[in-house]
Amino acid sequence: MGAAVSDLKPEEDKRRLFLVIADDTPDALMRVLGVANVQQTRLRALTAQPDGAGLSIRLELDDQGDERAQTLAARLSACPSVRGVGFGWR
């Protein structure tokens, strides 16, 4: 069954969730946020916590389309200390 029209989110409310696993270094969070800043994302929520020997970072961003999300994921993956990136809808 499809969602009722009233259940659909307006375009401006769509968000992407990025999950980043990084080394637990003093600058890891700032490096990830720096990449998001350069990509001119609009951050709506952020959590970061130690996860074993690493750091788990959850970024909730306004959706800017599939191409922008893929570009951000690729740039985050290339960031020093980042071990993995996943993204999807919130």
> Has residue 29 got a pLDDT over 80?
yes
Extents of the domains making up the chain? 13-89
- The pLDDT score that the predictor gives to residue 12 is 58
Q: Which CATH superfamily is domain 13-89 in?
A: ACT domain (3.30.70.260)
Residues 30-85: pLDDT tens digits? 999 999 999 999 999 999 999 988 999 999 999 999 999 999 999 999 999 999 99
Does the pLDDT at position 3 exceed 50? no
| DSSP secondary structure letter of residue 80 | T
pLDDT higher than 60, residue 7: no
Q: What is the DSSP letter of 33?
A: H
- The count of other CB atoms within 10 Å of the CB of residue 67 is 8
pLDDT beyond 80 at 1: no
